[in-house]
Amino acid sequence: MTQGVVVGEESARLITFEGVDGCGKSTQLRLAAERLRAAGEAVVTTFEPGDTALGRELRRLLLDGEFVPVPEAELLLFLADRAQHVREVIASALARGAWVLCDRYSDSTLAYQLAARQLADQQIPLHALLNFAECGVRPGLTLWFDLSVEQAAARMRQRESSGEAPTRLDDEQAAFHQRVAAAFAQQWQAEPERIARIDADRPIADVHGDVCAALARRLPLSAVAAQ
């Protein structure tokens, strides 16, 4: 396990994929990884919550519906998963010089726990908590896949009819998902240098083209655009 953490330039190689459930970011992450690898880049793909041994247990506790954590506990469990993930997976991959493509990160916590669970109004040292869990590792680029809640819900219904079980959070009311979507939009407006908006209401290949364009525009990756 990595004891130290990576900060500064190395963590600029962390690219996070964000958006409402059903926005298509996981498919796009896989395609982006293939593209980067084809361009000769070292790439590690990962996700939150649940991509460590401890994280798999936290994911089960958080999402399978057996338990319903209170909002405060939910926030702290997602942060625990992140700290473990950063130190065990992300920091060491960045230290090796790999690109790390991560399906969800702190923007999801801001959107789901702080905004949708309405914890932001509480007197909590929000940014200190998020920074603590990130162990100093901030993404160099975040791709936000913008899709309306209605369209995302239709895609989720399709997935469910093909046998994919919904998580406890997928089953939240529409108003919850509306708050999640609004929070992602706000984060993009607040941090346009870090967050690139991708219109996710398009065919997979077109969205992938926009992802490659965003990578090439924002990162030293001209090989990606040239293909």
Give the interface with ligand TYD as residue ranges (CB under 6 A): 21, 26, 48-49, 63, 78, 103-104, 108-109, 112-113, 167, 169
Dihedral of the alpha carbons of 101, 107, 113, 115, in degrees to the nearest 10: -150
Nearer to ligand TYD, 7 or 83 (CB): 83
CA-to-CA distance for 126 and 213, rounded, in angstroms? 33
CA-to-CA distance for 183 and 189, rounded, in angstroms? 10
Tokens of 227: 């293909």
Closest distance to ligand TYD from the beta carbon of 39 (Å): 25
Closest distance to ligand TYD from the beta carbon of 22 (Å): 7
Closest distance to ligand TYD from the beta carbon of 209 (Å): 22
Closest distance to ligand TYD from the beta carbon of 18 (Å): 9
CA-to-CA distance for 99 and 171, rounded, in angstroms? 33
Closest distance to ligand TYD from the beta carbon of 40 (Å): 28
Closest distance to ligand TYD from the beta carbon of 167 (Å): 5
Paired with 195 in beta bridges are 142
Nearer to ligand TYD, 169 or 219 (CB): 169
Nearer to ligand TYD, 110 or 224 (CB): 110
Give the DSSP H/E element, type plus range, for residue 145: strand 141-146
Nearer to ligand TYD, 21 or 210 (CB): 21
Closest distance to ligand TYD from the beta carbon of 101 (Å): 13
Nearer to ligand TYD, 22 or 140 (CB): 22
CA-to-CA distance for 34 and 76, rounded, in angstroms? 33
Classify residue 161 as exposed, middle or buried by CB count within 10 Å of its CB (0-12, 13-18, 19+): exposed
Nearer to ligand TYD, 18 or 224 (CB): 18
Tokens of 171: 């089953």
Q: By three-state DSSP, how is residue 199 classified?
A: strand
* Closest alpha carbon to 146 in 186, 99, 112, 175: 186
Q: Residue of minimal CB distance from ligand TYD?
A: 112
CA-to-CA distance for 138 and 15, rounded, in angstroms? 9
Nearer to ligand TYD, 84 or 109 (CB): 109
